[in-house]
Amino acid sequence: MTSGRRVLRNGLAVTVVSLVVVGCGTDPAGLGRSGNPVAPTTMTVAPSTTGPTATVAPSTTGVVDVSGTELTAGLVPFTECDELLRHLRTEATERVGPYGLGGGWFGGPVVMEMATMDVAMAAPAVGMARSMEEGVDYSGTNVQEVGIDEPDILKTDGRRIVVVEDDYLYYVDVSGPAAVLTGSLRLEGHWSRDLLLAGSRAFLIADTHIPGDGDTDVTAPALARLSPPGTWTPLTSVIEVDLSDPANLRIVGVLTVQGRHVSSRVVGGAARVVVVSTPSELPFVYPASPTGEERAERFNREVVAETVLADWMPDFVLESAGTTVAEGSLNACTDVSHPVDFAGFSTLSVLTVPLYEPLAAPATTAVLAEGTTVYAGHENLYVTTNAWVDPEEMEDESRMRWWNDNWDTAVHQFDVTEPTAATYTASGEVPGHLLNQFSLSEHDGYLRVATTTGGPWRFDEDAESMVTVLARNDATLEIVGQSG
């Protein structure tokens, strides 16, 4: 079975080599380039004394002290671990029932959708000694914003093509008159379709499975603790591969975290990797019949009261040359914030991974939130959150009508100009719900947000679409214009 699989893989590799030599030359349609930012919508924009204008550059962002400030749609940072644990226990105690926490309905998973990717590669030309230009000599990844790279299954600089497909990485040399498959690498226990290229390094973002269901006889004990036997915990790995010797590709570092990869963007030489982690190991009981609900709820309340931070927060393991070099909680307590309106028990973590340095334990910024959209501009990263809707309320038609009439989306801004961290700066609120990341666009310091009124759970013939423009004023993203 293994040999048959390898034949299939080799066949795939031959297909890759065959396809890449069928060049497209220049890309007159611009499919290999990112599109231009969306043109500003015609609307009335109110003056702002401290926000940016069309002729004045945005004010320099920095760390915002929100202590003593009442935020209606902001993020509140935790000052210590005890405070974080108290918050989680308190919110869980209010919501736990005979069937556990059950999960709130929030309109779907985190959305950071990728644009359709164009993987057509230009054929090597006779004049290969000259410098290659992306979009002219070869096509690159379609991106939402010019200059902000996104993961792809295939990356090239015009002289080499690197392809990831499930659990294999391929290196194709296209510097000569014909494409040559130079090397390949098996990604044991990893499956990826997300690749970033940085000089002589490739960074793969992969779903990870621990061999033996956490059996410490076949995997490192530290890594096994991320997915204990008898549990299912989504794991995401950032894998650093040395490409300096194409015939001998090798993994030099692996960062594995508890959680599901949403997507990533490269800003200022650092990848911002977004991961969502949901607590899945709380030992709740479930009644066999309605007569046991009261007893089950009492037991589940005791479970919540006895939880520790490790029950709620994601962990990580960093390996180098197969040896664990660091492990622990992914987020420092003081790097975690929560929305003013409760948004769930999941943790959305933004990992900062410098691409031109050896893989290390990442700097992180985290938000306690379930459903969000994530968008990255050149200077800022935005995360949206929505209030938690209790599952019981979904059975109450009057309450669902109230939610539909009052549904808002909070928008949180993080400064990503520093390549070592993302810093929370401001928050605002817009009416209605977003469709996906393409509902957000930043231009000249203004954030434009396209929304539809009402909640995201059902079609409303009376719903209206609108574009709201936000500009930063200290710790607030203020509405300075609206059209719809």
Structure tokens at 209: 């499975």
CA distance 458 to 361: 42
Q: Identify residue 427 by its one-letter amino acid code.
A: S
d(Cα 50, Cα 475) in Å, to the nearest integer?
11
DSSP string for 136-159: TTB-----SSTT-B--BSEEE-SS
What is the dihedral angle through the alpha carbons of 122, 128, 134, 135, rounded to the nearest 10 degrees?
-50
Average pLDDT for 64-83 = 67
Contact 340, 76 (CB under 8 A): yes
- Return the structure tokens found at 259: 């959680």
> Which contiguous run of DSSP H or E holds residue 192?
strand 190-198
Provide the residue range defining the domain that includes 456.
2-483
pLDDT tens, 385-426?
888 777 777 677 788 787 778 888 989 999 999 888 888 999
Q: Which two tokens stand for residue 67?
A: 């202590």
The yes-or-no verdict on residue 128 having pLDDT over 50 is: no
Tell me the CA end-to-end span of the chain in Å, nearest whole number: 59
SS3 state at 466? strand
Give 296-353 pLDDT, tens digit per residue: 999 999 999 999 999 999 999 999 988 999 999 999 999 999 998 888 999 999 999 9
Rounded to whole angstroms, the Cα distance separating 16 from 4 reads 19
pLDDT band at residue 32 using 50, 70 and 90 as cut-offs = very low
**CA gap 390, 342 in Å, rounded:** 11
Which pLDDT belongs to residue 462?
78
The answer for residues whose C-beta is within 8 angstroms of residue 76's C-beta and 6 or more apart is 66, 337, 338, 339, 340
Q: Note the pLDDT of residue 46.
A: 43
Q: How far apart are CA 412 and CA 372, in angstroms?
A: 10
| Concatenated DSSP letters of 31-92 | TTSPPPPPPPPP--B---SSS--SSSPPPPP-----TT---SS-EEE-SSHHHHHHHHHHHH
- Backbone φ and ψ for 79, nearest 5 degrees, come out as -100, -15
In Å, the largest CA–CA distance within the chain is 80
Predicted TM-score of the model (pTM): 0.75
The pLDDT, as a whole number, for residue 368 is 93
- The set of residues, in sequence order, having a beta carbon less than 8 Å from that of 46 and lying 6+ positions away, is 480, 481
On the question of pLDDT at 253 being above 90, the answer is yes
| Helical spans, DSSP H, in 199-317 | 221-224, 293-305, 309-312
Question: Number of folded domains in the chain?
Answer: 1
User: How far, in Å, CA of 203 to CA of 81, rounded?
Assistant: 32
Q: What is the pLDDT of residue 385?
A: 85
- Residue 362: closest CA among 372, 373, 351: 351
| pLDDT value for 371 | 62
Taking the C-alpha atoms of residue 63 and residue 442, their distance in angstroms, rounded to an integer, is 20
Cα distance between residue 132 and residue 141, in whole Å: 15
